[in-house]
Amino acid sequence: MFKWMSGKKTPEGEKAHSLQIDELKEQLKKELVACSDLMFRTLKRNDKKIVICFVSSLIDKTGVDDYILKPIQENTQSGWSVEELAQILPITDLTGANQLNEIVMALIDGKTYIYSEGEPFGFLANLSNTVERSLSHAETESLVFGPKIAFTESLLGNVNIIRNNIKDPNLCMEDLAIGTRSKTSAKLVYIKGIADEANINTFRQRVSQLEIDHVQGTTVLGQLIEGNSWSVFPQLMTTELPDRITLALMSGRVAVLMDRSPDALYGPTPFFTFFESTEDVYMRWNMGFFLRILRLVATFLSVLLTPAYVAVLTYHYEVIPSPLLVSLGQSRSNVPFPPVFEAFLLEFVIELLREAGARLPTKVGQTMGIVGGIVIGQAAVEAGFTSNILIIIIALSALGSFTTPSYLMGTAIRIIRFPIILMAGFWGGIGIMVAFCFFIIHLLKLDTLGRPYLAPIYPLNLKDLGYSIFRFPSQFLSYRPVTNQPEDKERYSAKKAKEKKDVDE
Amino acid sequence: MNVNLHPKEGILFSAYLLFFVIHGVQTGVGIVGLPRIVFLEAKHDAWISVLVAGVLTSIVLWFIITMLKQYDSADLYGIHVDVFGKWVGNSLSIIYMLYMVGSFFIIFMNYIEIVQVWIFPNLATWQLALVLIFLTVYAVFGGIRIIVGVAFLSVVGTMWILVVAFVPLRYADFSHLFPIMNIGFGELLKGAKSTTLSMMGFELIMFVYPYVREKKKSMKYVQIANMYTTFLSAFVTLISIVFFAGDSLKATIWPVLSMFKIVRLPNLERFEFIAVSFWMLIILPNMCLYLWAASKGFSRVLKRKQKTGVWVFAILAFGATFFIQARYQMNMVTDLVAKSGFYAVICYPVFLSIIVLVKKWWTKRRNSHAKAS
């Protein structure tokens, strides 16, 4: 609003820099405000000057020494014109440039600018050196089985991993710039011929139309481009596992990788995708089937167990058979609180334990287990704060929520438990059902990239159930999931697979 | 007003979902009390009465679908205008809308009554009404695709209750059924008529029809849905007859729930508490569809936003809850809606479709005459 008062000029668009080296230095210094690590190295020979500009923190200094300075100094017989320089510099990534803006952006990017005085343009050489951590194990989505490699913060490295996973010439990587100020580079990844055009377009459109100064990573990007930002349920999935992205791409989904972000964002991801683990695919199908069902049941119980306890003990104790009621009554006889309060208290403690465990350094983390397990569990019962049975129930539901492979979905499930407990405290079973109906309607209303969120269930797609809720053996999965609307529908020819050999053939 | 309705391609739903819509909207609060009501008329042959009712509704459905097929993609509001002209047609539409709001009202009021009788005697009617209406409004705002989804999940999610209904068969005395068919034909028909409350709902096909993608298949799925509902109702009635002694069935207002009492699992007794809670999921699509259809009329007939219609009818229904204080009033209103339902659902659509068919035949004949001459 006060732009006109600050007196700053809006940066001019296209402008070639000065042909005088001294002026060029001044121009660059002015553009890169207070950039103390902007460095110039000037060489002189026979009245001809050459300048090498770079931001010292971003470049590989030995590279500049070896590949720029050394060749220029050693090749005394050749001149310093643009053509001759191009011949002697042993650098792959070398482009001509003379626009001031372009050069400034390139310097920030870690490139080196080589300019010989009087020439129409100079060279941008890529000798950048970014600080990266090396590849490591997946931390948030840990696996027992399957590839262990995880994405890192380097976009180039991540692209490298994906390209190595899928050696398909149709694998497309479109460049995107995210953030009007930060201009983080990102890539839209999909396989042409498998991914649905509509999905690609929606994704591309939503990302490129984003008008925001800076996006802090793919998880934030996901929140910015999903359909309903009020909902507690994540509608697009992020993962740090390259093989998960590979699977997703091969089944016709679209992914976005962002520089400086160790997760990839992909979609469309309906609700049940969040309960799939790559391990289900690597395991034998019957084990995968079992684990997937186990996870869904665990989630269901995790949401429903505590509210059911509250509802039953507050209003409907007739539901419990009398032998069980006796032991329940005994364990609750010391507890002075109503069941809602008791449940809230213990759920709160569990959430505290989880949060503290996540914040603490790993060395102290072990203490948490002792504090949580013995001190709180045992002492709370003996002090008459809670009943033993509730401790079991809360532990079960906490365990259940941790089985969800997606950390975001696991958190969503833990959060929706609280309103349901509250409703159970109000109206018992009726309250639980009210909350349940609400969540059903809510999930029906959500979408992921414009596709229904409850996808293979509603709209019902019997074929895709084998991919999402159950896991069928691969001889039944000759097609790609229909929900993603893949263009190439077949994974292998089902007809050929069904051909059977006769005896002794 | 346009006679035909052409919704966007994206909100159309597949024809097979009509099965869930029609079946979902037919089973609601009615089926809980159905066995007794039919038993009062048709005695131990009540289950045959239900089957007869199913056949009759199936015939009515045939009439309705044949009528809808005469048009490209019309709903009842459009047909009214086409057949009766603007004024009469729209007035009839408004009457029909009122009937649907009435159905919406008695559905949740009956459910609240069940909750008050079985679980919370002191629960204020308006509180639960407010929550139920809020849920319905929330769903209706999502549009027909969400409502069909609710119907689908409701039918799929409550199918397991059917398994529980087999449990009372252990205590069944099949001699209650005999002698079969010794009741007069008149009583049988009377019994069939009394099933209206649990059979009605299929008339909503006249409103969702424009939103079906493969309209040609709609007859099949609607008939299957009606058949399934009929068999379900007949099955429940049959179980109630063999489970209860004749006199006690007469005195049991909600025999289905009473039968659930005896279901017993190792860690669960008094199953009816769970059933009553779960019944909310069963009545949810009914409420959504009735409110949706009525509010659709609000936008079609009165040319206002449908959202306004949803709020108007929701507030109207909520306001009406305060006028009902006692059981006998509730009974009166339910009877009133059931009776008007009999005319609105059974008689009127048949009458209307005959008019439409005659009109089509007449215009066709006149056109061919005009061509010939």
Report the side by side order of strands in the sheet with A184-191: A171-178, A184-191, A254-258, A264-267, A237-239
pLDDT per residue as tens digits for the range A224-273: 998 888 999 999 999 999 999 999 999 999 999 999 899 999 989 999 99
Q: Is residue A169 part of a domain?
A: yes
3-class secondary structure, A405 = coil
Question: Which one, of A267, A273, A190, A198, lies nearest residue A226 by Cα?
Answer: A267
> Are residues A407 and A299 part of one domain?
yes
Residue B124: inside a domain: yes
Residue A434 forms contact with B (CB below 8 Å): yes
Residue A285 falls within a domain, yes or no? no
| pLDDT score, position A8 | 45
A112 contacts A59 by C-beta, under 8 angstroms: yes
The residue out of A269, A304, A329 marking a domain boundary is A269
* Span between the terminal Cα atoms of chain B, in Å: 34
Output the CA–CA distances (angstroms, integers) from residue A199 to A447, A468, A484, B31, in the order listed: 13, 19, 8, 44
A146 domain residue, yes or no: no
Question: Is residue A504 domain-resident?
Answer: no
SS3 (DSSP) at B228:
helix
**Chain A: closest CA distance from residue B366 (Å):** 45
A445 touches chain B (CB under 8 A): yes
Please tell me whether residues A330 and A402 are part of one structural domain: yes
Per-residue pLDDT band at A6 (split at 50, 70, 90) = very low
* pLDDT in the model for residue A175: 92
B326: confidence class by pLDDT, cuts 50, 70, 90: confident
Count how many domains chain B has.
Answer: 1
Pairwise CA distance, residues A340 & A88, whole Å: 78
**Residues A48 and A188 both lie in one domain:** no
Q: What 3-state class would DSSP assign to A138?
A: coil
A398 shares its domain with A312 = yes
* pLDDT at residue A127 greater than cutoff 90: no
**Is the pLDDT assigned to residue A11 strictly greater than 60?**
no
Task: Name the domain boundary from A452, A472, A488.
Answer: A452
**Ramachandran bin of A52, using left for φ above 0, alpha for ψ from -120 to 50, beta for the remaining angles:** beta
Domain boundary among A238, A269, A300: A269
Residues A120 and A27 in one domain: yes
Domain tally, chain A: 3
Tell me if B195 is assigned to some domain: yes
Task: Report the distance separating Cα A321 and Cα A306, nearest Å.
Answer: 18
Reported as a pLDDT band with limits 50, 70 and 90, residue B58 is: very high
Interface test with B, best of A432, A444, A454 (most B CBs within 10 A): A444
Same domain, A260 and A215: yes
Q: What's the whole-number mean pLDDT along residues A477-495?
A: 83
Residue A124 has pLDDT above 80, yes or no: yes
Which residue among A316, A428, A458 sits closest to B152, beta carbon to beta carbon? A458
One domain, residues A300 and A446: yes
The sign of the CA dihedral B298, B299, B302, B308 is: positive
Task: Assess whether pLDDT exceeds 90 at residue B223.
Answer: yes
What string of DSSP letters covers A449-484?
A: TTEETTTTTTTT-HHHHTTTTS---GGG--B--GGG
pLDDT at A23 over 50: yes
Same domain, A45 and A93: yes
| pLDDT, average across residues A471-490 | 84
Interface test with B, best of A433, A451, A454, A462 (most B CBs within 10 A): A433
Structural domain span for residue A347: 291-452
Residues 180-199 of B with CB under 8 A from A: none
| Closest partner CB to A444 (pick from B128, B142, B277) | B142
Range name among A381-385, B94-98, B325-329 with the lowest pLDDT average: A381-385
Q: How far is A325 from chain B (nearest CA, A)?
A: 10
Compute the average pLDDT of residues B186-197.
87
**Do residues A117 and A186 share a domain?**
no
Q: Which two tokens stand for residue B54?
A: 């199913």
Q: Would the pLDDT of A455 be above 90?
A: no
Residue B307, SS3?
A: helix
Domain-located, residue A79: yes
pLDDT at position A481: 86
Question: Do both A194 and A226 map to the same domain?
Answer: yes
Q: Which segment, A73-82, A133-142, B348-357, is predicted with the most confidence on average?
A: B348-357
- Between positions 284 and 323 of A, the ones with CB within 8 A of B are 315-316, 318-321
pLDDT value for A14: 67
Closest partner residue to A433 (CB to CB) among B17, B153, B278 is B278
Domain assignment present for B87:
yes
Out of A320, A428, A437, the one facing B119 most closely (by C-beta) is: A428
Same structural domain for residues A369 and A234?
Answer: no
pLDDT one-digit tens code per residue, B65-92: 999 998 888 889 999 998 998 899 999 9
**Which domain, by its residues, includes B246?**
9-372
Cβ atoms of residues A432 and A424 within 8 Å:
yes
pLDDT score of B243 more than 70: yes
Read off the pLDDT of residues A364-375 as tens digits, 9 standing for 90 and up: 777 777 777 777
Distance of residue A14 Cα from the nearest chain B Cα, in angstroms: 46
Q: What is the CATH number of the domain that holds B180?
A: 1.20.1740.10
Q: Does B115 touch chain A (CB under 8 A)?
A: yes
pLDDT score, position A13:
55
Residue A489: pLDDT band with limits 50, 70, 90: confident
ipTM topping 0.90: yes
Q: What are the tens digits of pLDDT across the range A388-417?
A: 888 889 889 988 988 898 888 999 999 999
Tokens matching residue A73 = 């100094």
Enumerate the residues of chain B whose CB falls inside 8 A of the CB of residue A458: 149, 152-153
Residue B4 lies in a domain: no
Separate counts of helices (H) and strands (E) for chain A: 20, 12
Nearest CA in chain B to A426: B123
Instruction: Decide: A217 and A158 in contact? Cβ < 8 Å.
Output: no
pLDDT band, residue A9 (cuts 50/70/90): very low
